[in-house]
Structure 1
Amino acid sequence: MIHTQTRTDLQSSEEGAPERNIRLTGQQVGKWFIAKYIAALIGIYLALVTPASVTIALRVGQIDPEGKAGSFALVSAVGAGAALISNPIFGALSDRSTSRWGQRRPFLIVGFACGALALLAIGFAPSILWVAVGWAAAQCAFNAALAAIMSVLPERVPVALRGRVSGFMGMTGQMGVVGGTFLIQLVGTSGASMFIWPTVVGALMVLPFALTLREVPKARVERVKETARTVLSSFWINPLKHPDFGFAWFGRFFAWIALYLLTTYKTYFLIDHLGYTTATVAPVLTLAMFVLALAIAVSSIGGGWLSDRIGRRKPFVIAASLLFVIAMVIVAMSTTVEMFLIGMVIAGLGNGLYLGVDLALIAEVLPDSGTAAGKGMGVFNLSSTIPQTVAPVLAPALLLINADGTSGNYTSLYLIAAGLAFAGAVLIQFIRGTR
């Protein structure tokens, strides 16, 4: 039987949020709970990342074949802006929800359903304007679902299991990319089917978790009246008041800028620095992304499991950042494709190790994790979404450093990326709330 959450429950200091939720709902967090949780995350990423990486570009090319590059940049920018704003706002709104269906489940189900409808509309969109509107709506909706489901980690998963769960969470994005690409190859790229099938499969993966998640409704007396100030507060957690959260946020921010500098400019690096052409670079890119994904999966799962076994998080995050430093130096000095691929493998190991542990780490230093996990995880997610915008703007200036030609200095670009990753590792050492 599920009881209404009381103020005494919320303010209890003798038990953490996971233990309190287990007591109130009677729902244990075991292997089936975790399996359904990870499957639901993969389902959301399958529906969201497939358009971002494949089908939006194809749809733009079908509508505007002559100006597809500029149109795709416009659509991508609109979608990125929508994602940036919506994730922390919906996270905070789910914290304050008093729905009888729970705090997270309505945002998960309705968010996914609205995202699916928006993608279907893109499949029939007659112009680039409507593709952009549809993609913004899809980003808002799916990020509502993501904000809700990410809150489950600090709220429901006990500390002893967080490393393992975080490790599996770290590979869900890659699984979404691989699964989505495979589906598109099966169903083809004509019509709306390339948008429909990833969402259908994604929905089938989300529903088992969404329908079986037990939640404690929040008492209506605790409802916060929404104002412009409360909405704006969704984007801010004071790093001076919560220094551990601040160090974790900026550590991830620097690490992710370094990652996006690598992945965003890898194609141009191969063409300008290693002599490939637009006609010959595709097989190398495919191989590079495959080894990157494989390395991420291996180190994410292994690192998360090992961090639970030894009960420490910080050494893994620091080691991950240092691995990325090594990878950037190797890529910067690459004169052959073999050196480049070695750098990509090491980057994948570092990225996976970081993904496998940093969510567990932040769950342990998250301010007000018992009452405002949605807001906290939403603000933390900005540390990886903002770099997607910053890196493409920063990179052209970095390429000009000591450049002696029109192609830019990729050595300086990746050495600076190495410096940013190292700065992230240094910041993590200052965290005091977890080992």
Structure 2
Amino acid sequence: MTLASNSTSAATGTDSAPELNLRLTGQAVDKWFVTRYVLALAGLWTALLTPASVTLAIRVGQLNPEGKAGSLAVVASVGAFAALIANPVFGALSDHSTSRFGQRRPFIAGGFLLGALATIGIGFAPSIAFVAISWAAAQLAFNAAVAALIAVLPERVPARLRGRVAGFMGMVPQFGVVGGTFLIQFIGTAGVWMFFAPAVIGLVLVLPFVLTLRETPRSREQVGRLDWRVLAGALWINPLKHRDYALAWAGRFLAWIALYLLTTYKTYYLIDKLGYTTKNVASILFDAMLVLAVCVAISSVGSGWLSDRIGRRKPFVVAGSLLFTGGMLVVAFGTGIEHFLLGIAISGLAQGLYLGVDYALIADVLPDQNTAAAKGMGVFNLAGTIPQTLAPVLAPALLAIGAGGGRGNYTAMYLFAAVFALVSAAFIQLIRGVK
């Protein structure tokens, strides 16, 4: 059953991006297109997030067991900086591509293959410096693929279907983390296989979409000139000119700072506040991440589907921010593991509500989606990337508020996280161009 409109009567000047691409390529967005697209996203996140969340730390520990914490911080920071630059810059390059293979396919395929080779190189790394270089290369390449793949949503998926597709997009990163964790438990952490296996699985999932995606080459007149000004502007979209886009960006930015304060410091919270040790914390962390993943999956897919049915985006994103505020309050004032797991569950449902719709919301207010979709989505992704770096910098100051006895004040930190989520809801509510 074809889900996209088959109408080709609209003039080029008034076509939406999905209508224009349907007319140019003849490829309708049906259930098989969506399935291949979601599987490609799952494959990409599996290949990227398995090392990011599991095997990179293991490899650093193998090479420098005494100074692993400091070495991992350096390696992760180098990778985060590479990701920060790569997503919008490669998005702009993709937007301006005149390749006969299309605008998106070369970046998806090339970015994935180079990223996979770079992560496999980490398995052979003889030093921490080599790990850092390989991880930076992996982040550059994988984020080139991410920028091109995410651009498919506003370019190809009709507005009436974006909620349910965005719902799956919100779920697949959790699939990558949890699936990667299970995979590493199965294959072990000895040798290069812990990097090779996720790359192979990712390739199997990405390949069907790349091979079947139809694109028509664009001329230089259609995509515009590519020069240093275009690349310099890849990191910037004028917030005054595009108010709704800026509000959506700011809302995600604050919500994701709150999220990373929770996920980055959950281990230390369990040890410092709830009395766990480095020897027994692993099992409860796995339980917590499983609870988080299940809750994200349930609410993400459900909210995306319901958003399409009722034709509204903002209520779901606002509800996600407000619910996350509640989850942070439970964690902030919790006194036992049951409160922690309850807070994690509430936060997972909130994250799913937010993720299930915010990609659809941003696609509805994306500037220049006919000509610069990858740049716009790349800049929007910075709202989730920058908090990964900012949260660890901000956290020590928040933990020091009223702290005593040599331990951080986790209540204060998570109260601030609740405030960030609450302000995020206020920003989303101010958006005018989307219901």
Structure 2 counterpart SS, 1:171: helix
Q: Distance in 2 between matches of 1:69 and 1:270?
A: 18
1:78 aligns with 78
2:24 aligns with 24
Residue 270 of structure 1, CA deviation: 1.2
Q: Which moved more, 1:121-130 or 1:167-176?
A: 121-130
CA contact (8 A) 1:258 1:417 kept: yes
Q: Distance in 2 between matches of 1:197 and 1:183?
A: 8
The answer on 1:135 being equivalent to 2:135 is yes
2:239 aligns with 239
Amino acid in the other structure paired with 1:79 = G
CA contact (8 A) 2:166 2:355 kept: yes
1:411 aligns with 411
Q: Distance in 2 between matches of 1:238 and 1:294?
A: 37
Q: Distance in 2 between matches of 1:89 and 1:362?
A: 19
Residue 17 of structure 1, CA deviation: 0.5
CA contact (8 A) 1:10 1:370 kept: no
Amino acid in the other structure paired with 2:82 = A
The answer on 1:262 being equivalent to 2:262 is yes
1:315 aligns with 315
Residue 181 of structure 1, CA deviation: 1.6
Residue 275 of structure 1, CA deviation: 1.5
1:291 aligns with 291
The answer on 1:43 being equivalent to 2:76 is no
Cα offsets for 1:380-430 (capped at 9, x unmatched): 000000000111000110111122331121111111110000000000011
Residue 187 of structure 1, CA deviation: 2.0
**Structure 2 vs 1, CA of residues 401 and 160 (structure 1 numbering), >3 Å: closer, same or farther?**
same
Q: Distance in 2 between matches of 1:112 and 1:72?
A: 23
Residue 14 of structure 1, CA deviation: 2.2
1:172 aligns with 172
TM-score, length basis structure 2: 0.96
Q: Which moved more, 1:256-265 or 1:282-291?
A: 282-291
CA contact (8 A) 2:295 2:348 kept: yes
Cα RMSD (Å): 1.4
Structure 2 counterpart SS, 1:125: coil
2:6 aligns with none
Q: Distance in 1 between matches of 2:416 and 2:362?
A: 26
CA contact (8 A) 2:160 2:308 kept: yes
Cα offsets for 1:341-372 (capped at 9, x unmatched): 11110000000110000000000000001110
2:3 aligns with none
For residues 67-146 of structure 1, what are the structure 2 equivalents within 5 Å?
67-146=67-146
**Structure 2 vs 1, CA of residues 78 and 390 (structure 1 numbering), >3 Å: closer, same or farther?**
same
Amino acid in the other structure paired with 2:207 = L
2:382 aligns with 382
Amino acid in the other structure paired with 1:132 = A
Q: Distance in 2 between matches of 1:293 and 1:182?
A: 13
Q: Distance in 2 between matches of 1:142 and 1:336?
A: 39
Q: Which moved more, 1:199-208 or 1:276-285?
A: 276-285
1:4 aligns with none
2:427 aligns with 427
Q: Distance in 1 between matches of 2:74 and 2:226?
A: 32
Q: Which moved more, 1:394-403 or 1:311-320?
A: 394-403
Residue 283 of structure 1, CA deviation: 1.7
Residue 224 of structure 1, CA deviation: 3.8
Amino acid in the other structure paired with 1:372 = A
Amino acid in the other structure paired with 2:379 = V
Cα offsets for 1:146-200 (capped at 9, x unmatched): 0000000000000110000000010110111122122222222111111111101
2:194 aligns with 194
In structure 2, runs of 5+ residues without a counterpart are 1-8
Amino acid in the other structure paired with 2:49 = V
CA contact (8 A) 1:321 1:354 kept: yes
CA contact (8 A) 2:18 2:157 kept: yes
Aligned residues: 427
Q: Distance in 2 between matches of 1:36 and 1:214?
A: 13
Q: Distance in 1 between matches of 2:15 and 2:139?
A: 36
Cα offsets for 1:69-100 (capped at 9, x unmatched): 11111111111111111010000100000000
Q: Which moved more, 1:215-224 or 1:9-18?
A: 9-18
Amino acid in the other structure paired with 2:168 = F
Residue 11 of structure 1, CA deviation: 9.0
Residue 10 of structure 1, CA deviation: 12
Amino acid in the other structure paired with 1:266 = K
The answer on 1:395 being equivalent to 2:389 is no
Amino acid in the other structure paired with 1:337 = I
CA contact (8 A) 2:95 2:223 kept: no
Q: Which moved more, 1:185-194 or 1:366-375?
A: 185-194
Q: Distance in 2 between matches of 1:179 and 1:416?
A: 31
Give me the identity figure in percent. 64
The answer on 1:153 being equivalent to 2:128 is no
1:301 aligns with 301
